[in-house]
Each structure stands twice: as C-alpha cells, then as structure tokens.
Amino acid sequence: MLRVCLAGLRVHRLRLVLTTVAVMLGVAFISGTFVLTDTMQAGIDKKFTASASKVDVAVLPKRGGEEMTQRTVAAVRAVPGVRQVHPMLRGEAVLIGKDGKAYGDMPPIALSVTTGPLQRYDILQGRAPAAPHEVVLDERTAKRNEFAVGAALTVLDAAGRERRFTLTGLADFGIDAEVGWRGGLGFTPEAIAAVTARPGLIEIDVLGDGDPAALRRAVAAAVGPGYDVVTARELGERLVQRAGADTGVIRIGLLLFGVVSMLVAALVIYNTFAILIAQRMRQTALLRCVGATRRQVFGGVLLESALVGLAGSLAGLVLGVALAGGLSALLGGTDAGVSADFFTVTPVAVAAGLTVGVVATVLAALLPARAATRVAPVAALRTEPEPGGGRFRLGLPRTIAAALLGGLGVAVALAGSLAMDKGESAMLTVAAGGALLFLGVVAVMPALVRPLGRMVGALPARLTGVPGRLAVANAHRTPRRTATTTIALTIGVGLMSLFAVVAASGRATALAMLERQFPVDFQVHTQFGTGEPDERMRLPADLAARLRERPDLAHVTELWRRQARLGGDPVAVGAVTRASLGDLVNPPVVSGSLDDLRPGTIAVHRSAAERRGLAVGRTVRLTVKGGTVPFTVVAVFDGETPLPPYLLPEADFAAHFGAQGPWMIYAKVRDGADPDRARQALEQATRHLPTVKVTSVAEAKDQFNRAIDTLLLVFGGLLGLAVIIALFGIANTLGLSVVERTRESALLRALGLTRGQLRLMLSVEAVIMAVIGALTGVVLGAAFGWAATGAMGESVVFALPYAQLAGLMALAAAAGLAAAVLPARRAAKASVVAALAHD
C-alpha cells in the first residue's frame, strides 16, 4: 500500500498541488506569527537588557508607596560605595516648530539625559546634552520639524517663557508609547527641572563600587521600605512590563486569524480528498479485489494526506520564516520602536507549524478515508454513476441538529444583543451565538445549494444561454461538494462582513454623537487641553469676545472647566455659555431638564450620578474656592461629551471660581460664509498664542474615519488569506471536476459546444459557487454585525456599509472567475476523440 500510495502521488501530483498550497498558506501564517513575535520579543529583551545592564542598582517607586523626591536622591548619594547617581526625571515641554506654533496635539515628553556610564538612551547622531542650554530630540520629531544637529530650538517653560536650546544630538528613547506618539526631548537634570511644570522622579540609577548585592542592601536600608530597590536584571524585566512590550497578546491575536485560515484550509483538504476518493472508486475496488483490506485502504488514504500535509507544512514553514524575516526588516526600518535585528526561529515555531499542518490535513481526510473503506470490491467490475450526485436530502437527524443549532444560535445572539447589559460579556455571548448558527448553516448548506444556485445563476443563465444553464446544473449536481467549497469562502467573507458592519456602525455612532451634541465647525483649545484642568489649559479671557465680532462666525461657545472636591475626592466641574446650552450644546438628557439649570442648581453626568447615588432633586455639596456650597440636581445627562461630569450655570461658575479664560471655545460658521476664510480668521486671532490650536471638526471626522479605515484594512488583510485559501478550494474543486467530467465535456463538444462555450460554462460555474459562498457570508456577517453593535452600547447606531458588502460580492465573483481560468483552459484544450475514449 505504501508503494501504491507513493506511485499515486507521483502520477497524479498536479491534482494535489492546490491542496498543498492551501496547507502551505495556513502553516505560513501560523509559523510566521511565531517567528515574527519571537524575533520582536528577542529584540525587546536585548534592548532592555542592554539598557538595564548599565546600572548596578535602581530605586523605583513602589505601587501605592511613597513618592520619590530629591531627599530620596540625597539619601542614595550618601550611601557608602555609591560612585554615581542619576535621577531620571520625566515631564512634558512645549516645543515650538518652525511655524511658530507648538508642535503636536499634546506637548512632547521631556526626559533627563546624563553623560557617562549611566547614560541609558542611545544617541544616534551627535552627542548627549552636557550643559543646561543643550537638548536632544527623538529622530522622528527632528525629522518632522526639519531640525538638524546644531539647530537652535525654542522651548516654553512652565511659566510660558521662551527658552533657547542648542540641538546636540538625535536620541533613541527606546520603546515608549508616549514618546513615540508625542515626541521626546532630552535635557540635563538641571534643565528639565526648570523647563517642565511638574517633573516626576520615576527612577534613580546607581553605579557603585564592590558587590552589587551588598550595594542593593545598603541602598534599600537608606531609602526605607517605601521603595523597590532592584538589580540590573530585575530592572530589565520591569522596563519590559512598563513599556507594555509583551508580544504574547500580539501572538494570540495573529494566531486567531491563523486558526481561521487553517479551518478554511481543512475544508479545502476535506473536499479535495472526498473528490479524489470518489474519482478513484474503481481503483479502490480493484485494490480490494487483489487483497487489500479495509484497514489498508483507510491507512493508505491517511498516509497520502499525511504526505500532502507534510509537504505543504514544510513549504509553509519556509514561506512563514521568509515572510517573518521581511516583516522584521520592515519593522526595523520604521518608527515602530521595535528592534528586529535579532532574527529568531525557535523549535516551538517549527513544531507548531509542522504539527498544525499535518494534523489538520490528516483530520480533514478522515471522513473521505472512511468513505473509501466502504467501496465494495465488485465496484471494479461495473461503471458506477458519479458519487455524490442527485438530489440531497437532509434526513431527520441532520434536520434536527440544524434546527437546534440554528435556533439556539439565534436565541443566544439575540439574548446577548437585546437582553444582557451592554459590554464585553454581551459581545462574547453574541459571538457564541454566531458560532452555533454557523454550525447550523454548515449542516443545512447542501440543501441550500439548489435554491441559492438557481437564484444566483438566473441572470448568468439568461445572459449566456446554454453554457450558463449547464453551469447552473453542474453546480446543483453534487450538493455536498458545492456546499463544502462554498462554506470555506463563507467563513472568510462572513468575518470580513462582520468587521465591516461593526466598523461602519462605530463610525456612524461617533459622527452622529458629534453632530447631535456639538454641531459646530471649529474648536479652539490649548495644547494641554486633553488632560486634567490646570492653569496652562486656559485660553485668554477676551478671545471669545474678539471672535464674536467676526462676521463669518454665527455662534461662539465657551466651555469652562476647573477642579473642585466632592466628599474629599477631586472632581471636574464646568460651565458652558448659557445661550448655547440645549441648542449647540445638546447632550441627551436622562432625567430632568437643562432648561432648569439656574443659580443654585447643577446638572450631573449619568456615570457620576450612578456612582454617587444622585438623582433629580438631590443635593450635591461641592467644595470650591469659597468653601462648601450646596447645589440641587435638576438634570442628569448622558453621552460621550467634552462636558465635565458636574455642570454649573455660567453665573455660579464665575462666582465660585472667579472670572477666567475658558478651557475650550467652539465656533460655528455663519450660513453662506466661507469656512476657509473663517478658519484663517481663527488662525489669525490665535497667531500670537503658540500653544493654542484651532481644530476643524471636519478634520477630526476625517482623522477618525482614517483610523477606522486603517483598522478595517488590517482586519481585511488578515482575513484575506482565508478568502484566498477558499478560492484555491474553488479552483481545486473545479479542476478535479474537469478531470471527472472529461468524457462528458467531450460529448458536449461533439454535440456542438465550442471551446469558448465550454470555457464559459466552467467560468460561470465557478462564479456561481463563489457568489453562493460570498452571499451566505455577507448575510451572516451583516446579521451578526447588527447583533454585535446592539451588544456594544445603548447609543450605538447600526449602519450597513452597502458599498463595501457589494464590493465583497463583486470581488468574490471576480476571484471565482479567475479561479476557473486554468481548469477551463485545460478542458477546452482536450482532444474530443481522446476524451471520449477516457476511462
């Protein structure tokens, strides 16, 4: 049987090429994920190990412990054996760009940099700052602002005064998400204390003489139990945790897509072996006639599948390693902040890829192998009709299973979407319901092939005539085979449709909320306007009045925000221009009315009201500048809004906090006015204020839309592999069917069907299979996208991305057409006489 199996593979190797490719792609995804994440982790570990190895001992603040101060630094310096100490300070500093305005939406991160052996950051160009008037920049910020080494930089200090610095170098501040997003400046410890508003002491690095263990004990005794004193190795581990650089989450996320790909590949493998077993029925029967047992036939099929799986897995492993290497090089050359210089291929990556590929292939071949054992020896002596043909009947067991799975799946999904509290648990419940319903669809899919095939094939049959009608009949002929082929495509397209619906709904929800609650055109705020309220966030008190004089602005709304105390806890309190409340500023009201917001009253956000047990009519006692003042709750509002959780009347806010500049200004363009000119007017009015930003709401929408589109593109790219594998399945099924129908195709040619019509028939057949799979996937994806959006939150707006879903259908049809090119070409090239003699 081994020799027979190997001989069969040699003779019919082309029949299994696409199956091997399907295995290869699935394994490449899985093995490539392991190699890529292992490489990233190795680079991260090496980077942090090299950084931490420069110190002997480090003092870190303990969670919930004491705050580190300069007294802590002095205590460390006084320890015998301490040779050098570097207090690592961290804050934020305003960098003025070449346009005279502050760089970035938020101030860059300011870090202390020293010279000598305790210099922890890599200087890529130039040198570290050695004097208070020198500074280094991260490479990305320098590039964006076109700053070169030696340039003069302007930085605003905590009081808003301009300070001049000389750029001495470009630095790599390591894997730091905030620095990567906001940019980073490196100052000497003396300069950073003067520039930043409140620099935080995040770490004290110590270099000593003698035994590091003894030094650690001495430093720990000097600083007391309120701090963690760690060795270089422990510091490296802490740095990895602080940076959030654990690649385990990335690996799990990518492997989920790998599992989807391997599931689709398993369906392709199953269908391929089912067709091959059906085509080799007489050969199998002949083996039984000459003495092969059922066990030998079963083992022969499994051996064949194992060899195919091994070949595909080996090729997939090579491809995965190559792809991981390319991605590692790409990441190493970008601003991702991850070093990919340590390419790593571990035994786990190799074993995972090979095991998954071989096991999935063998498991997928079990049912076809079992079917092969049922072939009677007498079948070798007669011509059997095509296996799997004829009308498919569900049967009572399958009908019951499909009904139970489908009904339970719908019930679970509806419970998660409509009955449960919105959030993660509800979404997981919807996902479980979707999985159950999908299993029900798999069970019933062979019975759906005929009606779906007639519906999908109606137009092609009408347009193409005889070839189209023959294609529809061919798609009906083997319902199990067609169902398995289309289900593979349903998985990929269904998941892509689900993500498209969720993304479109998220986009629609955010934009609708923005339009409803703040229907404005521009917002004016300082560069510090996204954090907790402080003095730096205030705009000039007269700015709004000057903007109201502009003829092209219809409405100018001020939003004030300060901090008060409630029950000993700090809370954000604010006010908004009275004339705009309920008009331009219109958050959804849960109870009460914003019209009742008058002196002595307050409106509370629902989350704060639920946390504090507040309702309309209750009293809130806020500790403000003049003491504790009672306010009566007259409204509870909701929604994601810039409004503070406690909203006072404009007059009360001014009375208790004093006259001051607003936290944010909103401006609406007058009807008929030019928005560009209005934008120029706002820019002109704030030109002398370097930290003030003018943001267009349209720009914010575009930025949000780009983020959603990028996310959708990433998910679509990852799921696209599953779709590609499914299309290989269609090509494989069609290619094997061409071999199976050799005599039939020749007879059609003899009866007058031209080569072009034969190619057209096979192409339409492939398109029908692809559209059936895509249509099922789009329907399921859209339905569970609706359920998922219902589970996300109360105010989520469901949106159906018709263009994207139609694009998926069109893409599936085009891909199905492409999958039919080679099989159709092979069928059309066959000699009619030779094909009629085919057995």
**pLDDT tens by residue, 701-714:** 777 777 777 777 77
Q: Give the separation between CA 571 and CA 565, rounded to whole angstroms.
A: 6
Backbone torsions φ then ψ of 623, nearest 5 degrees: -90, 110
What is the sign of the dihedral through the CA atoms of 284, 288, 294 and 298? Answer: negative
Q: Give the separation between CA 746 and CA 754, rounded to whole angstroms.
A: 10
Q: Map tokens 């398109």 to a residue.
A: 767
DSSP H helices in 523-647: 543-548, 606-612
Q: Give the separation between CA 460 and CA 437, rounded to whole angstroms.
A: 30
Average pLDDT over residues 499-521: 78
pLDDT of residue 12: 61
Query: pLDDT tens digit string along 349-400?
Result: 888 888 888 888 888 888 887 877 877 776 655 554 444 445 567 778 888 8
Angle between helices 70-77 and 212-223 (to 10 degrees): 140
Q: Is the pLDDT of residue 3 over 80?
A: no
Backbone torsions φ then ψ of 120, nearest 5 degrees: -95, -20
- Taking Cα atoms as reference points, which of 789, 784, 805 lies closest to residue 436? 784
Of 156-165, 228-237, 452-461, 530-539, which gets the smallest average pLDDT?
Answer: 530-539
Q: Give the separation between CA 630 and CA 711, rounded to whole angstroms.
A: 47
Average pLDDT over residues 390-418: 82
Cα-Cα-Cα-Cα torsion 538, 541, 542, 545, nearest 10 degrees, comes to 90
- 8 A C-beta contact, residue 819 and residue 733: no
Average pLDDT value over all residues in the chain: 82
Average pLDDT over residues 483-488: 84
For residue 103, what are the CA distances in angstroms to 160, 196, 712? 15, 16, 29
Cβ neighbors of 747 (< 8 A, separation 6 or more) are 836
Query: pLDDT tens digit string along 627-649?
Result: 899 999 999 998 777 788 999 99
Band of residue 620 on the pLDDT scale cut at 50, 70, 90: very high
- 8 A C-beta contact, residue 633 and residue 608: no
Query: pLDDT tens digit string along 188-207?
Result: 988 888 888 667 888 888 88
Q: Is the pLDDT of residue 430 over 90?
A: no
18 vs 798: which has the higher pLDDT: 798
Average pLDDT over residues 732-742: 72
Per-residue tokens: 299: 């083992």
Residue ranges of domains in the chain? 1-53+248-384, 67-225, 446-518+698-839, 529-690
Average pLDDT over residues 325-344: 61
Of 372-386, 482-496, 498-512, which gets the smallest average pLDDT?
Answer: 372-386
For residue 161, what are the CA distances in angstroms to 8, 155, 232, 267, 534? 83, 8, 39, 68, 17
Q: Give me the percent of the chain exceeding a pLDDT of 90.
A: 11
pLDDT of residue 6: 64
pLDDT of residue 338: 47
Cβ neighbors of 283 (< 8 A, separation 6 or more) are none
pLDDT of residue 350: 86
Query: pLDDT tens digit string along 105-142?
Result: 888 989 989 888 888 888 889 999 999 999 999 988 99
412 vs 344: which has the higher pLDDT: 412
Query: pLDDT tens digit string along 236-260?
Result: 777 776 666 556 666 777 778 878 8
Single-letter amino acid code for the residue at 278 = A
- DSSP per-residue letters across 741-789: THHHHHHHHHTT--HHHHHHHHHHHHHHHHHHHHHHHHHHHHHHHHHHH
Query: pLDDT tens digit string along 54-92?
Result: 888 888 888 766 678 888 889 988 888 888 888 888 888
DSSP H helices in 386-465: 396-414, 424-464
Band of residue 609 on the pLDDT scale cut at 50, 70, 90: very high
Residue 92 pairs with which residues in a beta bridge?
A: 109
Of 569-573, 609-613, 823-827, which gets the smallest average pLDDT?
Answer: 823-827
Tallying the residues shown for the chain, one arrives at 839
Single-letter amino acid code for the residue at 824 = A
By three-state DSSP, how is residue 43 classified?
Answer: helix
Cβ neighbors of 617 (< 8 A, separation 6 or more) are 632, 633
Spell out a b/e string for 335-352, using b for 16 or more CB atoms within 10 Å of the CB, else e.
eebbbbebbbbeeebbeb
Q: Is the pLDDT of residue 335 over 60?
A: no
Spell out a b/e string for 239-274, using b for 16 or more CB atoms within 10 Å of the CB, else e.
bbeebebebeeebeebbebbbbbbbbbbbbbbbbbb
Q: Give the separation between CA 24 and CA 490, rounded to whole angstroms.
A: 21
Q: Spell out the SS3 assignment of 142-153.
A: HHHHCCCCCCEE
Q: Give me the percent of the chain exceeding a pLDDT of 70.
A: 88
Q: Is the pLDDT of residue 414 over 60?
A: yes
By three-state DSSP, how is residue 1 classified?
Answer: coil
pLDDT of residue 838: 56
- Taking Cα atoms as reference points, which of 415, 413, 486, 468 lies closest to residue 770? 486
Q: What is the pTM of this model?
A: 0.72
**Long-range contacts of 338-341, Cβ-Cβ distance < 8 Å, separation of 24 or more:** 338/40, 338/43, 338/44, 338/175, 338/245, 339/43, 339/44, 339/46, 339/47, 340/39, 340/40, 340/43, 341/43, 341/46
- 8 A C-beta contact, residue 340 and residue 332: yes
Band of residue 839 on the pLDDT scale cut at 50, 70, 90: low
89's torsion region: left (phi>0), alpha (psi -120 to 50) or beta?
Answer: beta
